[in-house]
Amino acid sequence: MSKIIEVKNLKKYYPIKINWRQQAVVKAVDGISFSVSAGQTLGLVGESGCGKSTTGMTVLRLVEPTDGDIIFEGKNIKDLNRVQMRLYRKKMQIIFQDPYASLNPRWKIGNTIAEALEIHKLATGQIGKLRVEELLDRVGIDPSYKNRYPHEFSGGQRQRIGIARALAVRPQFIVCDEPVSALDVSVQAQIINLLAELQDEMNLSYLFIAHDLGVVRQICQRVAVMYLGKIVEYAGSEDLFNNPLHPYTKALLSAVPVPDPLAKRDEIVLTGDIPSPLNPPRGCSFNPRCPYAKAYCREKAPQLSTVGDRLVACHLVNKIRGDQDAAITEMAQAN
Ligand code: SF4
Strand pairing partners for 76? 71
Domain that residue 262 falls in: 248-334
Residue 186, pLDDT score:
85
Residue 20 sits in the same domain as residue 166: yes
Q: How many helices (H) and strands (E) does the chain have?
A: 12, 12
Residues 213, 309: one domain? no
234 occurs within a structural domain: no
Domain assignment of residue 282, yes or no: yes
pLDDT in tens, the chain (335 residues): 789 999 999 999 999 887 777 788 999 999 999 999 999 999 999 998 899 999 999 999 999 999 999 999 999 999 899 989 988 998 999 999 887 788 889 999 999 999 989 988 888 888 999 999 999 999 999 999 999 999 999 999 999 999 999 999 999 999 999 999 888 888 999 999 999 999 999 999 999 999 888 889 989 999 999 999 999 999 999 999 999 999 999 999 987 766 666 666 666 777 777 888 888 899 999 999 998 999 999 999 999 999 999 999 999 998 877 765 666 566 566 55
Closest by CA to 33, choosing from 11, 13, 54, is 11
C-alpha 283 – ligand 1 centre gap (Å): 9
Considering the domain architecture, whether residues 64 and 172 belong to the same structural domain is answered as yes
**Range 236-241, long-range pairs (CB < 8 A, 24+ positions):** 236/309, 236/310, 237/43, 239/308, 239/309, 239/310, 240/310, 241/213, 241/217
Q: Is 239 inside a domain boundary?
A: no
Same domain, 168 and 256: no
- Ligand 1: residue of 274, 282, 297 to mutate (most ligand atoms within 8 A of CB) is 297
CA 35 to chain centre: 12
Residue 22 within any structural domain of the chain: yes
107-132 CB burial, b ≥16 within 10 A, e <16: ebbbebbbbbbeeeeebeeeebbebb
Q: Take atom 3 of ligand 1 and give the residue whose Cα is closest.
A: 314
Long-range contact pairs involving 114-118 (C-beta distance under 8 Å, separation at least 24): 116/165, 116/168, 116/169, 117/168, 117/169
Residues 106 and 212 in one domain: yes
CA torsion through residues 223, 229, 233, 234, sign: positive
Distance between CA atoms of residues 312 and 227, nearest Å: 12
Last residue in a domain, options 164, 193, 226 = 226
Name the residue of 225, 271, 287, 317 to mutate for ligand 1: max ligand atoms within 8 A of Cβ: 287
Q: Which of 231, 233, 305, 316, when mutated, tests ligand 1's pocket best, judged by the most ligand atoms within 8 Å of its CB?
A: 316
CA of 227 to the centre of ligand 1 (A): 12
179 and 282 both lie in a single domain = no
Ligand 1 centroid distance, CA of 268 (Å): 14
Residues 194 and 148 in one domain: yes
**Residue 237 located in a structural domain:** no
Q: Is 207 in the same domain as 68?
A: yes
pLDDT at 274: 80
Residue nearest atom 7 in ligand 1 by C-alpha distance: 287
- For residue 290, give the ligand 1 atom closest to its CA: 1
Same-domain check for residues 39 and 180: yes
Residues 48 and 106 reside in one and the same domain: yes
3 SS3 class: strand
280 Cα: distance to centroid of ligand 1 (angstroms): 14
Task: Please check whether residue 127 lies inside any domain of the structure.
Answer: yes
Domain with residue 209: its CATH number is: 3.40.50.300
pLDDT at 333: 61
Ligand 1 centre from 246 Cα, in Å? Answer: 8
Measured CA to CA, the distance from residue 230 to residue 282 in angstroms comes to: 14
Same domain? 107 vs 163: yes
Residues 221, 265 within the same domain: no
Distances 98 to 95, 124, 176, 178, 180 between C-alpha atoms, Å? 9, 28, 11, 9, 9
Q: Ligand 1 site: residues with CB under 6 angstroms?
A: 247, 284, 286-287, 290, 292-293, 297, 302, 314-316
Q: How many domains does the chain have?
A: 2
- How far apart, in Å, are the Cα atoms of 289 and each of 155, 192, 285? 36, 32, 9
Atom of ligand 1 nearest to the CA of 246: 6
Spacing, Cα 222 to ligand 1 middle (Å):
22
Q: Which atom of ligand 1 is nearest to the CA of 285?
A: 4
